[in-house]
Chains A and B, each alone.
Chain A
């Protein structure tokens, strides 16, 4: 009943190719956007914006990036953290070299630079796959972080290798980085970036190249036989994925942390993003958002849960229990629903469609 699409007839090719063909989907999306753009900045406290919504948005963007590579194209990557660092440091170098350049352009350029680095480390993917490729991306992770820590040029010879985001405005005096940036401006900036890039990604994965990615993922040899060029397709996946991850890293460094060193993007960050797409759902844009929400909110919930039910635990104990819960949940999700939260939402939609009747 609730999700019934009966009567929504497609009368033109444009309607048939619509990105959200069902009216209810459009309604929920519009509602979510309205809440995100209007309701949250008006009513959410500064703490909520800083500690939950901004990191959630940035991580969701990064998760979309990794999902394109791992979920859609099937190339396992453990180098997300390294590519995020490339984005952050590229943005820093560009914006300190050419201060008058608009920050949006800076971020897009740093995304492009990350895409280049991604292609470089993606080159072995033609010969190797699976765990072998994971090692290639691990090489990227460790090498890039080492590079940014050791080579002073990247941090403009700062003695501690810490870079601080200089104040930059989008238009006029609306600052989104630096001390003068208000929390709301930072939040809305992230939201706008994420919304636009997510829309692009959503369209990309249902285009010709998106279908080619999925064909490579499902069986690369068969895909090659039907005329898909594996090297080109995989490298485009690496480039697009790194572009997203790079922008995510730049946002993380500039808008969220404001001051960072390369170790903010260590191997644990890579795993964190990987878990987001596993729990959210491999090969789903919605899944990236669900997974990011789950992974960034669960620790906060686990931190507060023992206190809520009146158990006093030490900080160390809570973080250990958090680790265990996290591990158990990952295993649980893989067993119960290997396709993640996005798949659960799809099942729920099927049920809502015929509700309240069972058939």
Chain B
């Protein structure tokens, strides 16, 4: 009886707390949502590449890191921020070319699991390369985004977070437009649907892959700058790529809006769990919360919130 009481208390006491102090709860949720924006951005890079080539790109985290370090390196040379941005974008495009030529092209038509493992190898190469060139210290990144908090209906929000959120929205809208209405975007969707059919109607697969990896590199750069200015550019970013997995499961592997919504849910959910339920069971719930949520979600709806229905054929 006592044990039951304890469990009930553990599960429902925090709910009472939420009910009594809704403003604090709102602040926790908003804080979580803004971490969620960053998860979303990383997941977005994944989705882009997954849609166009069926490759699950584990290296997205490493690309974020590499892009951010590149950007810092250009800033250190005394370039203005916009020039550094263009420079880093160019580097990411060159990298897309190199990856297409050395990794993807020889592995055409291999099983997805092989390609996934190849991107793990790629992660090591990029990470090692970044460390050789720039060392392994945490780098500060400050491009002058204001950080003072403002108050909206009683909830404290950092200006920086609002700007990050707006950037993400703009990025997603532009990408959505790009995919829906441009020639390249249509070709990308065709490739995503069926590699061989796309090839047979004359879509140049190799070019498309370079495009999509370049776009993913660009998204990585934006993510890296936002994340880097918030928390510093550090090598643990590579493992953030793993957090994108549950985000994708929640949102669906092929859906751009799904990546965003999934990221927000995971970000807010793990923050709420950490703040309200975490202290009673030892804390650091954030480490696994996202994965367990994804696991439970998979049982109910394997294709995710917005993903295409999974149809199996023999």
Contacts and interface: CB of A to CB of B under 8 A. Distances in A.
Contact of A127 (B116, B121, B249, B298): B298
Interface in B87-141: 102-103, 106-107, 110, 112-114, 116-118, 120-129, 131-132, 135-136
Given A127-B298, A221-B312, A323 B121 contact: no
Given A327-B128, A334-B118, A135 B299 contact: no
B56 A323 contact: no
A182 B144 CA distance: 61
- State the majority secondary structure of interface residues on A: helix
Given A271-B120, A324-B128, A146 B288 contact: yes
Interface in A271-326: 271, 274-275, 278, 316-317, 320-324, 326
For the complex of A and B, 6 pairs with smallest distance between CB atoms? A327-B124, A330-B121, A323-B128, A139-B291, A324-B128, A150-B282
Q: Max chain A CB contacts within 10 Å: which of B117, B120, B135, B136? A: B117
Interface of A: 76, 124, 127-128, 130-132, 134-136, 138-139, 142-143, 145-146, 149-151, 219, 221-222, 225, 267, 271, 274-275, 278, 316-317, 320-324, 326-331, 334-335, 338
Nearest to B298: A128
Interface string B25-48: 000000000000000000000000
B116 A132 contact: no
A33 B107 CA distance: 38
Contacts of A219: 314
Interface in B272-314: 281-285, 287-288, 291-292, 294-295, 298-299, 302, 312-314
A321 B128 contact: yes
Contacts of A143: 288, 291-292
Given A146-B287, A219-B314, A327-B128, A135 B302 contact: no
Contacts of B245: 131, 134-135, 138
Contacts of A130: 112-113
Given A130-B112, A131-B112, A136-B298, 5 more contacts: A128-B298, A132-B298, A135-B294, A136-B295, A324-B125
12 contacts: A127-B302, A135-B245, A138-B246, A143-B292, A225-B314, A267-B239, A278-B117, A323-B127, A329-B121, A331-B122, A334-B107, A334-B121
A236 to B, nearest CB: 21
Q: Max chain A CB contacts within 10 Å: which of B283, B288, B298? A: B288
B128 A76 contact: no
A334 B113 CA distance: 11
B111 to A, nearest CB: 8
A76 B56 CA distance: 13
B155 interface: no
Nearest to A316: B136
A330 B117 contact: yes
A135 B128 contact: no
| Range of interface residues on B (Cβ < 8 Å) | 35 or more
Given A143-B291, A267-B239, A320 B314 contact: no
Given A127-B298, A334-B107, A135 B246 contact: yes
Contacts of A134: 245
Contacts of A221: 312-314
B125 A328 contact: yes
A135 B249 contact: yes
B288 A142 contact: yes
Contacts of A329: 121
Contacts of B131: 316, 320, 323
A258 B249 CA distance: 39
Contacts of A225: 314
Contacts of B313: 221
A334 B117 CA distance: 8
Given A316-B136, A320-B132, A338-B110, A330 B124 contact: yes
B242 interface: yes
Given A139-B288, A222-B314, A225-B314, A330 B120 contact: yes
A224 B199 CA distance: 33
Contacts of A330: 117-118, 120-121, 124
Contacts of B116: 76, 131
Q: Max chain B CB contacts within 10 Å: which of A143, A221, A321? A: A143
